[in-house]
């Protein structure tokens, strides 16, 4: 009989693991970022990787909720996979468990743990202001593209005016990929060692 109770308890536990476990602070943050997205902007892209000289690029981008991002310009291949303005809406929409870590001044630090095994990210540490509901820093660990550290600056808007994305440059190539297609044209040379890469995105909203 005890074995039957144990089996029932285990089957009762596993469905709960796959459900959302989000506290009120992160839920408000999720609601904030899940608003209708209708943005048009110019993005100035600067890339800083040791040993590489990459000219500054500019692209035009349109972000709309539940639609494919439209990006035009010669700097397409330099846009990072993580760090653009729609990143946090996509991140917070996923089923997750939230863990409060600490307070940092007026900001709160949380760890997000993805509950969907098919999610392209595993964990994310975020620093946000609970009064503004804006994310200032994040460290996102992905399954295939390494770790991306993002620092945002705001200029009186709900979306960043400047974003700095830092990542590890893996062997063979930079983990850069433009939105909406495969990298073409501006191929980055192969690397034979791990380096730190940095992409700075400056937004001008139109």
Count CB neighbours of 187 within 10 A: 10
Question: Where do we find the tokens 């846009």?
Answer: 79
Confidence class for position 85, pLDDT limits 50, 70, 90:
low
Q: Which residues pair with 102 in a beta bridge?
A: 109
Confidence class for position 97, pLDDT limits 50, 70, 90:
very high
Q: When comparing pLDDT for 156 and 127, which is higher?
A: 127
Q: When comparing pLDDT for 79 and 43, which is higher?
A: 43
Check residue 177 and give its pLDDT: 45
Query: Residue 124: in which H helix or E strand, if any?
Result: strand 121-129
CB 88 within 8 A of CB 128: no
Least confident segment among 58-67, 165-174, 184-193: 184-193
CB 99 within 8 A of CB 83: no
Instruction: Report strand pairing: 162-169 vs 96-104.
Output: unpaired
Q: Quote the CA–CA distance of 192 and 206 in Å, as a whole number.
A: 41
Check residue 175 and give its pLDDT: 46
Confidence class for position 84, pLDDT limits 50, 70, 90:
low
Average pLDDT score over the chain: 76
Least confident segment among 26-30, 53-57, 126-130, 138-142: 53-57
Q: Which residues pair with 151 in a beta bridge?
A: 137, 164
Q: Is 107 a residue whose pLDDT tops 90?
A: yes
CB 189 within 8 A of CB 52: yes
Q: Mean pLDDT across the stretch 78-93?
A: 70
């Amino acid at each position: 009989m005890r074995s039957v109770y144990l089996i029932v308890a285990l089957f009762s536990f596993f469905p709960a693991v796959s459900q959302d476990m989000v506290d009120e602070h992160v839920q408000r943050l999720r609601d904030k970022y899940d608003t209708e997205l209708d943005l048009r902007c110019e993005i100035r892209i600067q890339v800083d990787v040791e040993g590489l000289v990459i000219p500054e690029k500019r692209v035009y981008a349109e972000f709309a909720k539940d639609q494919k991002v439209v990006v035009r310009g010669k700097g397409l291949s330099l846009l990072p996979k993580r760090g653009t303005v729609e990143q946090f809406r996509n991140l917070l929409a996923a089923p997750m468990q939230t863990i409060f870590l600490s307070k940092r001044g007026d900001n709160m630090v949380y760890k997000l743990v993805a509950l969907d095994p098919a999610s392209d990210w595993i964990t994310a540490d975020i620093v946000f202001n609970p009064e503004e509901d804006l994310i200032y820093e994040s460290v996102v660990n992905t399954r295939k593209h390494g770790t991306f550290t993002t620092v945002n600056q705001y200029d009186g808007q709900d979306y960043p005016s400047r974003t700095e994305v830092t990542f590890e440059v893996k062997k063979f190539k930079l983990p850069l990929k433009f939105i909406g297609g495969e990298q073409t044209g501006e191929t980055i040379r192969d690397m034979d060692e791990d380096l730190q890469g940095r992409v700075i995105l400056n937004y001008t909203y139109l």
